[in-house]
Amino acid sequence: MKHRIIFHIDVNSAYLSWEATYRLQHGEVIDLRDIPSIVGGDESKRHGIVLAKSIPTKKYGILTGESLYSARQKCPNLTIVPPNYEMYMKASNSMIDLLKEYSPYIQRYSIDEVFMDYSYNRETNFLDTAYEIKERIKKELGFTVNIGIGPNKLLAKMASDFEKPDKVHTLFHYEIRDKMWPLPISKLFMIGSRTKKKLNKRGIFTIGELAKLDKDYIYAWLKKPGILIWEYANGMENSHVRNGSLPIKSIGNSTTTAYDVDNKRESHMFLLALSEMVGMRIRNLEQCGKVISVSLKNNQFYSYSHQRKLNLPTDSTNVIYKTVKQLFDEMWQGEPIRRFSISISELYSNDFQQLSLLEDYSEKDKILDRTIDKIRNKYGYNSIIRSCFLHSGIKPIIGGVVTETDYPMMSIFL
């Protein structure tokens, strides 16, 4: 279709909004959205990060992804509630059911973000529909959303990130110069902190300055990743809204060791073996994740965990392993370990960003991941292993979709 109308529906402070709505519906008097509050981990166990925050927390400088301890230091009267993913999925599903009344072409991009193709409805003005959807969600479901509208998924998503909360914004190609180009480069979809620094060092501070660069110049400088962000800066993106959902909340694996692991080298190897499986599983599901967690159980059966929120979602085995290794090194207290667990959550569909090659990206690594997956799926997990596992006594890949036996998992690859 020549002229597409794509909606991006984004729940405002999703986890916190859903918590607040649920509590108000069950007799709570105080709305979490009106006080300094966050959704995070278990504060009593001293672990967890800020997953969502209310607007009143902004004046305290609390950031998404920082530790609960740090957030509490900034705001002593902060209200902290643990996440309830089952309830969040129900709230997300309720929103999906409502949106299906408007279009059959709906893609759940994450638990709180949805793309909807409205191109095929020419009977109703798309702006009227967007406002109707926004008001129905607020009235019938109890939470607010931002809706961005554009000719592709990129511009629709960029539009939904404009002024919040409870707003409708458009971003068509004729609006890019006035609405998008003046924005700081960090506001461009998939520009993380490291890419921002690279661009700033060459005097590129706004999206417009990136868009106006010579295409050959940016390719010579940043290769394929440079072309991608240059295209994004010019509003170029053509992926389809595909019907699909994200029923899985997280992907993880764990292992209980046959002996006490009392040194860092072997601990890293167990984490690498788990990362191999988690990486294959998330790529097989065509998803990527943003929050990586590590849990340990020592030989006294005491458990503790650590997690980190990445700047950008990933499906890279090397990025997963690098992160879990850092988390382990930060949390391990030197005592013998008997159980290792890792997981990746806050999942996103990867079709819109599988070429987002911006942070710690190696094109060779991405190609290598996919190639190894194909070989392992065809010939078995042990057809390709890392040399560090040779003669180590540690399985090179630990975990599985159903069991830990060495069978090739079902694959999307033909």
By annotation, the residues acting in catalysis are: 113
Question: How many CA atoms does the CB half-sphere of 77 hold within 13 Å?
Answer: 4
280, 7, 5: which is closest to 151 by C-alpha? 5
Tokens of 263: 């040194």
Tokens of 61: 């400088």
Q: Which long-range contacts (CB under 8 A, 24 or more apart) does 127-134 make?
A: 127/168, 127/170, 129/102, 130/7, 130/168, 131/168, 133/7, 133/9, 133/98, 133/99, 133/102, 134/166, 134/168
3-state secondary structure of 267: helix
The residue type at 183: L
Residue the block writes with tokens 């998924």: 153
CA 339 to chain centre: 26
337: Cβ contacts below 8 Å, ≥ 6 apart: 257, 260, 261, 262, 267, 296, 297, 298, 299
Stated length of the chain:
414
DSSP annotation of 410: P
Cis peptide before 165 (omega within 30 of 0): yes
The CA distance from 181 to 175, in Å, is 9
Tokens of 156: 């629709």
First-residue to last-residue Cα distance in the chain: 29
The CA distance from 228 to 289, in Å, is 20
The CA distance from 68 to 339, in Å, is 24
The strand pairing partners of 340, in sequence order, are 255, 296
Burial state string for 328-364 with b = 16 or more CB within 10 A and e = fewer than 16: beeebeeeebbbbbbbbbbbbbbbbbebbbbbbbeee
Alpha helices in 212-316 (DSSP H): 215-233, 264-284
145, 184, 149, 137: which is closest to 166 by C-alpha? 145
